[in-house]
Amino acid sequence: MEKRSLVLPYVLIFAGALLGLIFSAVLIYEHNGSKTSLGSAVCDTSDTSSCEKAKESSFGKIMGLPLALYGFVFYGGIVALGVFLVLALNDTAIRLLFWGGVTAFAFDIFLLLYSLTVLGGICRLCAVTYVGGALIAAGAVMISRRGATMIKAEVIPVSAKAAFSLILAATVALGFFFHNNALSSATPVAAGATPEEQKLREQLHNEFYKQWKAAEKAGLDVPKSGSKGGANPVLTIVEFADPLCPHCKDMGHVLGDFVKKNPDKVRVVFRHYPLDIQCNDAMKRPFHVGACDLARAIECGEAQGKFWPMHDAVFAQQESFMRNPVTDKAIESLAQSGGLNPAGLLQCFKNQSTMAKVKSDIAAGNRIKITGTPTVLVNDRRLPGVPLEYIGGILEKILSEESKR
């Protein structure tokens, strides 16, 4: 009869640990740049989610490994302790579970407050693991109170020790497997790919091409400013991007390499879409604070004929601007980095017409219902939402097909 009183705490502990394991695994993949459908569904960059900021923060990585990997091992350890206690109610195990659960919950509260006060938003994927931590803490407190009276002085069975060791070892191994697999998934296939891998990749490129071709045209006008590439291109690629969006930085590298490879056939156009409530009416809460100012700085590069040097200077210092405000001094420093005249750039930066140009791009993005960045259109058709590693290949496929016309 007494053991029945432990059913609820066990349910809370195992439910919380399972929740933590699932979402920690997703966070491992997201941290390493391998996008997941669950991660994309939970973390919407058009709202207050700070998943990207959390990843780039000082707590995103410890000793070179994602914080999520440590979390995954922790939740596996909780499962191991829970199974141990089911098989053998032991005072030491109860104390480990109690202090582990309570300490982890306190750390979750700290991370939540850090996210709200420093990062300016909530990492929704992280928040789900906090719920798991709360369930574990509640269950651990209940077991420490109810289980203490049921402990008997007896030898701990080998089955309990074996189960604990196997579960913990399996969790560590699985966590590192996810970590290494995520790193591999985020890396393009090497030139020496097997025939099977190459065939699969070609099939995916064909499917992505069909999706792009079937999409309706957006009816978007293409400005002459902020562009590079061929004068009469086969492909005109428009990227709506945010200066504080890490994925936009990565996309910029991919598009830059693509236009360098095909300088006469491809033209890339950059359009501003800062996820900043200061200038973007689609934003309901503060998110990428300072992105509007950085968009103005990039736009001012155009006035001196150095749009792309300024663009590159801003994105090169992205991590710094995610932590520090955009000041006049910072703008002047950016101008020097991009080889521009600092005084002229600062004057342009404060001109209302510069903000008007940024808002014009934002309005164009809102008309085609952009929900996040980067958003890429190729010949006025939106590029499918595919992992970054496939972007170069799908663009090559589109260029190949469209060059035949």
Which has the higher per-residue pLDDT, 64 or 171? 171
DSSP 228: E
What stretch(es) of the chain map to CATH 3.40.30.10?
216-383
Question: Which tens digits make up the pLDDT trace of 31-54?
Answer: 776 666 665 555 544 444 556 666
Residue type, 284: K
Distance from C-alpha of 343 to C-alpha of 259, rounded to nearest angstrom: 32
Residue % of the chain over a pLDDT of 70: 86
CATH for 3-185, options being 1.10.8.350, 1.20.1440.130, 2.30.30.100, 3.30.420.40: 1.20.1440.130
Contact 380, 271 (CB under 8 A): no
Q: Which CATH architecture has domain 216-383?
A: 3-Layer(aba) Sandwich (3.40)
Which has the higher per-residue pLDDT, 98 or 120? 98
User: Would the pTM of this model clear 0.85, i.e. be above it?
Assistant: no
> For the residues 263-279, what does the mean pLDDT come to?
94
* Number of CB atoms found within 10 A of residue 227's CB: 20
> For the residues 336-365, what does the mean pLDDT come to?
91
Question: If pLDDT is split at 50, 70 and 90, which confidence band does 187 have?
Answer: very low
How much is the pLDDT for 395?
94
Q: Is the dihedral of CA 297, 299, 300, 305 positive or negative?
A: positive
> For the residues 129-144, what does the mean pLDDT come to?
89
Most confidently predicted of 30-34, 110-114, 255-259: 255-259
Q: Which residues, at least 6 apart from 194, have a Cβ–Cβ distance to it below 8 Å?
A: none
* Kind and range of the H or E run holding 241: strand 235-241
What stretch(es) of the chain map to CATH 1.20.1440.130?
3-185
Summary mean pLDDT of the chain:
85
How much is the pLDDT for 33?
64
- Residue 266 bridge partners (DSSP): 235
Question: If pLDDT is split at 50, 70 and 90, which confidence band does 269 have?
Answer: very high
DSSP structure string for 17-35: HHHHHHHHHHHHHHHTT--
Question: Which tens digits make up the pLDDT trace of 59-104?
Answer: 677 887 888 888 899 999 999 998 998 888 888 888 898 898 899 8
How much is the pLDDT for 286?
87
Residue type, 319: E
Q: Is 84 helix (H, G, I), strand (E, B) or coil?
A: helix
